[in-house]
Amino acid sequence: MDIDDLLNYINNDDTESEKKKKKKKKKKKKTKEDEIIEEKNENKEDEKINKEIEEKKEDKDFHSKKQKKQKKIYLPKNINTDNENNSTNIPYPKRENKYQDLIKPSENIEIIETRFQDNSHLRLINNWEEKSDKIPYFQTNYPTKSIDEQYTSLDCFSTGIIQEYNENNIWRSNNEEKKELEKYYKYTITSMRKAAECHRQIRKYAQTLLKPGIVLIDFVKKLENMLKFITNANDLECGQSFPTGVSINNIAAHHTPNSNDNTVLKYDDVMKLDFGTHINGYVIDCAFTVAFNPEYDQLLKCSQEATATGIKNAGIDMRLGELGGYIQEVIESYEVEIKGKVYKLKPIRDLCGHNMLRYHVHGEKSIPLYKNDEDNAVMEEGELYACETFVTTGKGVTKELKNCSHYMKDNLAFNNTKIKSSQPKSLFKYIDEHYSTLAFCPRWLEEGGNTNVQKSLNYLCNIGVVNPYPPLADIEGSYVAQFEHSFMLRPTCKEIFSIGDDY
pLDDT digits (tens, 9 = 90+) for 362-406: 999 999 999 999 999 999 999 999 999 999 999 999 999 999 999
Distances (CA, A) of 113 to 45, 107, 129, 130: 55, 17, 13, 10
Q: What is the pLDDT of residue 107?
A: 86
CA distance 140 to 145: 7
Q: What are phi and psi of 39, to 5 degrees?
A: -65, -40
The answer to the question of residue 430 being in a domain is: yes
CB-side neighbour CA atoms (13 Å) of 241: 25
Residues 318 and 413 occupy one common structural domain: no
* pLDDT tens digits, one per residue of 457-496: 999 999 999 999 999 999 999 999 999 999 999 999 999 9
Tell how many helices (H) and how many strands (E) occur in the chain.
12, 17
Q: What are phi and psi of 274, to 5 degrees?
A: -130, 110
CA distance 397 to 346: 10
Report the number of distinct structural domains present in the chain. Answer: 2
Residues 455 and 440 occupy one common structural domain: yes
Q: How confident is the model at residue 134 (pLDDT cuts 50, 70, 90)?
A: low
Residues 362 and 425 occupy one common structural domain: no
Residue 229 has pLDDT above 50, yes or no: yes
Q: What is the pLDDT of residue 195?
A: 98
The answer to the question of residue 229 being in a domain is: yes
* pLDDT tens digits, one per residue of 75-112: 787 676 655 554 445 678 788 999 999 999 988 888 99
Kind and range of the H or E run holding 67: helix 65-69
Residue 345 CB neighbour total at 10 angstroms: 23
Residues 376 and 429 occupy one common structural domain: no
Q: What is the C-alpha end-to-end distance of the chain, expressed in Å?
A: 57
Q: Exposure of 220 by Cβ count < 10 A (0-12 exposed, 13-18 middle, 19+ buried)?
A: buried
Residues 256 and 312 occupy one common structural domain: yes
Taking residues 286-294, what's their average pLDDT?
98
The answer to the question of residue 502 being in a domain is: no
Give the percent of the chain with pLDDT over 70: 82
CA distance 294 to 386: 27
Does residue 84 sit in helix, strand or coil?
Answer: helix
Kind and range of the H or E run holding 453: helix 453-462
Residues 128 and 245 occupy one common structural domain: yes
Q: What is the pLDDT of residue 332?
A: 98
**Which of these, 392, 297, 386, 387, lies nearest to 349 by C-alpha position?**
392
Residue 290 CB neighbour total at 10 angstroms: 23
Q: What is the pLDDT of residue 83?
A: 52
Residues 216 and 192 occupy one common structural domain: yes
Distances (CA, A) of 122 to 207, 333, 501: 8, 24, 14
**Which of these, 460, 469, 481, 238, lies nearest to 362 by C-alpha position?**
469
Whether the Cβ atoms of residue 294 and residue 123 lie closer than 8 Å to each other: yes
CATH of the domain at 456: 1.10.10.10
Whether the Cβ atoms of residue 487 and residue 185 lie closer than 8 Å to each other: no
Give the percent of the chain with pLDDT over 90: 75
Residues 483 and 448 occupy one common structural domain: no
The answer to the question of residue 280 being in a domain is: yes
The answer to the question of residue 343 being in a domain is: yes
Does residue 272 sit in helix, strand or coil?
Answer: strand
Whether the Cβ atoms of residue 495 and residue 386 lie closer than 8 Å to each other: no
| Stated pTM of the model | 0.87
Cβ-count burial 53-84 (b if 16+ within 10 Å, e if not): eeebeeebbbbbeebeeeeeeebbeeeeeeee
* pLDDT tens digits, one per residue of 29-80: 445 566 566 666 666 666 766 666 666 555 444 443 333 444 466 778 767 6
Residues 312 and 361 occupy one common structural domain: yes
Which residue range forms the structural domain that includes residue 447?
408-468
Distances (CA, A) of 312 to 211, 410, 485: 32, 33, 12
Mean pLDDT computed over every residue of the chain? 88
Q: What is the pLDDT of residue 88?
A: 47
Q: What are phi and psi of 120, to 5 degrees?
A: -65, -15
Residues 171 and 242 occupy one common structural domain: yes
The answer to the question of residue 84 being in a domain is: no
Output 110 or 22, whichever has higher pLDDT: 110
Residues 440 and 321 occupy one common structural domain: no
CA distance 68 to 63: 9
CATH of the domain at 328: 3.90.230.10
Whether the Cβ atoms of residue 494 and residue 195 lie closer than 8 Å to each other: no
Residue 6 has pLDDT above 90, yes or no: no
Whether the Cβ atoms of residue 250 and residue 479 lie closer than 8 Å to each other: yes
Q: Encode 132-176 in three state secondary structure.
A: CCCCCCCCCCCCCCCHHHHCCCHHHCCCCEEECCCHHHHHHHHCH
The answer to the question of residue 104 being in a domain is: no
Residue 170 has pLDDT above 90, yes or no: yes
Q: How confident is the model at residue 420 (pLDDT cuts 50, 70, 90)?
A: very high
* pLDDT tens digits, one per residue of 295-335: 999 999 999 999 999 999 999 999 999 999 999 999 999 99
> From the centroid of its chain, how far is CA 228?
21
Whether the Cβ atoms of residue 168 and residue 133 lie closer than 8 Å to each other: no
Residues 293 and 318 occupy one common structural domain: yes
Q: What is the pLDDT of residue 57?
A: 52
Output 75 or 143, whichever has higher pLDDT: 143
Output 40 or 126, whichever has higher pLDDT: 126
Q: What are phi and psi of 484, to 5 degrees?
A: -155, 140
The answer to the question of residue 478 being in a domain is: yes
